[in-house]
Chain A
């Protein structure tokens, strides 16, 4: 990693820490959902408590990726600081890499309350290697949501990004079975679930934390969503660059 990337990471992270509302928000919702849904209903059974905890971790990471990233990118594009940075002797890479790394740190921080609640208030169990593997799966599973966040951030204004990302966030999370298990959902949700990106992501996490084999359909759909979101993000980024060329 270049030292300029580290410089950008350091100051972007500092900015985030000084106005921690988005960090607090990404950590609050999954923690609250954990207390409301997981602890009372599945907390007593080790296996289901562990899977449910993984779902809440992903729910939190999705918030940082989809909502946090899209709003951050859209706001930066509107500030005159952005064109100034383009005059500094650096290409776009350090800033971009700094932003992605800042988001990933935010994701990892946002799952800490969920892990603490899970450890102290439920029967969930996990070995340290599986926990590390699970964090890795969390980061991989967040890739399509980060790309969607980038797409929204580069495509629309910050006000629109707030609305669009929130509207996308809850349905994607719910349809994938992150909030309540699919078994209690209506039939049409169950037939739709394998094709939403959050399903593939959570199955990857379950494979990491519990060794459960993921459904091939969901994993393929997950990969397809990643490619699609990557193409959309690239398109929106290029279009935005075009305004400066």
Chain B
């Protein structure tokens, strides 16, 4: 498959801080990639390198086989601005016209606005929009130039459930038409719902890269839960919590944990063993990284 964006051994330093440490990553045509990682992990730095906002301190970043700092190369990408920065005094339609003017192939303003549920707002000044409307406008701008590859940074933050679903539909239909998407999100649910491939970034490195399922399995984390008054003292527990009289344990070896529970003579009832959610896998991967450093 064609590689649209590629990082080879990319390092990026800000003074003494190493934001990215020899990251290699390919984004292939037609993929829908979710970038996950805690704040300060290096997600934004990685995206800033791909969209030409910053240059790597070491290694190479390629976009469509060229350099992201070349304006012509950037015709193929779409980026979401932060909605807090949209020019307040311009009208919605004017901002879309302005952004579209930079691209040789582009959407008609009316069509783009309709697609993102903003059709009635073309004549409204940005200063008068609600937070959710600004967010949708910001995401719409990423698609203005009919990009092959879009970078969506937290596209649905601050949206209500219905608006979020509408936006998901928009992203899915872009992807179904052959578009490639790289998305970051605080909502793991969102990555699980949209992405086929998940890249977990922590401390400037790629910690895991695979399908949602593979990322869950790579850590092999299982959730063992049962009714008991307190967390028993047995080996092999990564994290534990007690909720409404049920104990929840995360472990990489559920068979052994259950054996240990029985051996220790722990009183428990209503035992349940199931795969973790992506969120749990994510916490485990990044906290493992913490313990290693």
CA distance A55 to B247 in the complex (A): 82
What is the count of residue pairs linking A and B with beta-carbon distances less than 8 angstroms?
A: 63
Proximity string of chain B (20-35) to chain A, C-beta cutoff 8 Å, 1 when within and 0 when not: 0000000000000000
CA distance A122 to B54 in the complex (A): 57
CA distance A18 to B128 in the complex (A): 14
The residue in chain A whose Cβ has the minimal distance to the Cβ of B68 is A87
**Is A7 engaged at the interface, CB distance under 8 Å to the other chain?**
yes
Q: Contact partner of A84 among B77, B85, B89, B125, CB < 8 A?
A: B85
Decide if B55 touches A245 in the complex (CB within 8 Å). Answer: yes
How many residues of A sit at the interface, in one of the four size bands? 20 to 34
**Is B86 engaged at the interface, CB distance under 8 Å to the other chain?**
yes
Contact (A81, B98) CB under 8 Å given A87-B52, A244-B53: no
CA distance A77 to B101 in the complex (A): 22
The residue in chain A whose Cβ has the minimal distance to the Cβ of B55 is A245
Q: Contact partner of B79 among A4, A79, A82, A87, CB < 8 A?
A: A87
Proximity string of chain B (69-88) to chain A, C-beta cutoff 8 Å, 1 when within and 0 when not: 00111110101011011110
CA distance A7 to B97 in the complex (A): 9
Contact (A89, B71) CB under 8 Å given A4-B102, A11-B98, A84-B81: yes
Proximity string of chain B (30-64) to chain A, C-beta cutoff 8 Å, 1 when within and 0 when not: 00000000000000000000011111000000000
CA distance A88 to B51 in the complex (A): 9
B interface, by DSSP: helix, strand, loop or mixed?
Answer: loop
A108 shortest CB reach to chain B, Å: 21
Q: Contact partner of B71 among A14, A18, A90, CB < 8 A?
A: A90
CA distance A133 to B62 in the complex (A): 51
**Is A86 engaged at the interface, CB distance under 8 Å to the other chain?**
yes
Decide if A14 touches B90 in the complex (CB within 8 Å). Answer: yes
Contact (A81, B53) CB under 8 Å given A4-B101, A4-B102, A87-B74: no
Proximity string of chain B (97-112) to chain A, C-beta cutoff 8 Å, 1 when within and 0 when not: 0110111000000000
Residues from chain B with a CB closer than 8 A to the CB of A11 are 87, 90, 94, 98
B109 shortest CB reach to chain A, Å: 14
Residues from chain A with a CB closer than 8 A to the CB of B53 are 83, 86-87, 244
Contact (A19, B89) CB under 8 Å given A11-B94, A14-B94: yes
B137 shortest CB reach to chain A, Å: 12
Q: Contact partner of A89 among B55, B84, B89, B145, CB < 8 A?
A: B145
**Is A186 engaged at the interface, CB distance under 8 Å to the other chain?**
no
CA distance A4 to B55 in the complex (A): 25
CA distance A89 to B148 in the complex (A): 14
B150 shortest CB reach to chain A, Å: 11
CA distance A89 to B86 in the complex (A): 18
A99 shortest CB reach to chain B, Å: 14
What are 21 A-B pairs with beta-carbon distances under 8 A?
Answer: A7-B102, A14-B94, A15-B87, A15-B90, A18-B89, A19-B89, A81-B81, A81-B87, A84-B81, A84-B85, A86-B52, A87-B51, A87-B53, A87-B74, A87-B79, A88-B74, A89-B73, A89-B103, A89-B145, A90-B102, A91-B71
Q: Which 4 pairs across A and B sit closest by C-beta, in order of nearness?
A: A80-B85, A84-B81, A81-B85, A18-B89
Contacts A88-B99, A89-B102 supplied; 18 other A-B pairs, CB < 8 Å: A7-B98, A7-B101, A11-B90, A14-B89, A14-B94, A15-B89, A18-B89, A79-B85, A81-B81, A84-B81, A87-B52, A87-B53, A87-B77, A87-B79, A88-B71, A88-B102, A89-B74, A89-B145
